[in-house]
Amino acid sequence: MAVSDSQTVARIAAALRGSRRLLFITGAGISADSGLPTYRGIGGLYNDNLTDEDLPIEVALSGEMMAAAPQIPWKYIHQIERSCRNAHFNLAHTIIAEMQSHFDDVCVLTQNVDGFHREAGSRNLIEIHGNIHDLYCPACDYATTVPDYSGLTIPPPCPRCNAVLRPRVVLFGELLPNDAVEQLYEQLERGFDMVFSIGTTSIFPYVAEPVVEASRLSIPTVEINPSATAVSRCVDFKLAAGAAASLEQIWRRYQAP
């Protein structure tokens, strides 16, 4: 979708010129231009349907189920990974990574597990829900990173102890990883000059609160999302468009003489 509000784009670019530290909060919408479906588009799993096992997806993809019957969550994790396979980061991820050379710090807080921000080169990266390519063994702490699941037996056995590996992602009913939460608090404590919310409905408090708090402190806030979300009413600038098209126009305007 093309960005039509050139005045808003110009004002966002002007705010960027006065900023040194940026926070980008991203969700599934930023990967849409890579051809990835949102979770609700993957096999209808999130469309209020039961799985083949007559389970709600929140039960099938839970930490409790991973411990009790790992073949069930692995079946749907594998389905999600297969839907994402052969896709790569897009222009939106590239622009955010490129900004690292123009600002003192660019922090990315992403809910996505696709690894695209990492692949694009973002360094100050908080993968709050983990990364589907990182696998580990809960029994012996063996860990590895794989490009995809094409060569794996599902569920994959640990090569060290033969227990079942699992992806380092947050499943339903599990807590967020401590290291990611600590990194987020540390970054928020340092403060930001501008906060972007891109492609997320902002339904989780840890995703919405940095935007709400920035707005309260009169720090410029931007939302890029075709739909209205939980933070739409409190942001300074709203672009109801796709991530790649919006960021391309903002970045082009920022770099213009």
Say yes or no: 181 and 233 in one domain.
yes
CB of 202 closer than 8 Å to CB of 211: yes
Residue range 105-109: mean pLDDT, rounded: 98
pTM to 2 decimal places? 0.93
Rounded CA separation 37/46 (Å): 12
Say yes or no: 182 and 213 in one domain.
yes
Say yes or no: 103 and 226 in one domain.
yes
The pLDDT score that the predictor gives to residue 46 is: 55
Rounded CA separation 115/59 (Å): 24
Residue 1 included in any domain: no
Say yes or no: 69 and 141 in one domain.
yes
Encoded tokens for 246: 């919006």
Residue-wise pLDDT for 128-186, tens only, equals 999 999 999 999 999 999 999 999 999 999 999 999 999 999 999 999 999 999 999 99
The one catalytic residue in 93, 117, 129, 133 is 129
The pLDDT score that the predictor gives to residue 42 is: 44
Residue range 8-20: mean pLDDT, rounded: 97
Say yes or no: 140 and 245 in one domain.
no
Domain-terminating residue out of 112, 146, 169: 169
Say yes or no: 186 and 232 in one domain.
yes
Domain-terminating residue out of 117, 151, 169: 169
Residue range 116-120: mean pLDDT, rounded: 97
Residue range 97-117: mean pLDDT, rounded: 97
pLDDT higher than threshold 90 for residue 66: yes
- For Cα atoms 197, 127, 252, give the angle at the middle one, nearest 5 degrees: 40
Cis preceding linkage at 155, omega within 30:
yes
Residue-wise pLDDT for 122-136, tens only, equals 999 999 999 999 999
**SS3 of 2, please?**
coil
Say yes or no: 205 and 82 in one domain.
no
Domain range spanning residue 79? 39-86+135-169
DSSP string, 106-132: EEEEE---S-HHHHHT-SEEEETTEEE
Annotation says 129 is catalytic: yes
Give the residue among 8, 11, 21 at the shortest CA–CA distance from 214.
21
* Cβ neighbour number for residue 191 with a 10 Å cutoff: 11
Residue 183 included in any domain: yes
158: CATH: 3.30.1600.10
Say yes or no: 147 and 227 in one domain.
no
Residue-wise pLDDT for 206-255, tens only, equals 999 999 999 999 999 999 999 999 999 999 999 999 999 999 999 999 99
How many domains in the chain?
2
What are the DSSP E strand ranges found in 41-129? 105-110, 124-127
Residue-wise pLDDT for 91-106, tens only, equals 999 999 999 999 999 9
| Residue 84 pLDDT class (50, 70, 90 cuts) | confident
The pLDDT score that the predictor gives to residue 257 is: 77
Residue 62 included in any domain: yes
Give the residue among 249, 256, 125, 120 at the shortest CA–CA distance from 187.
125
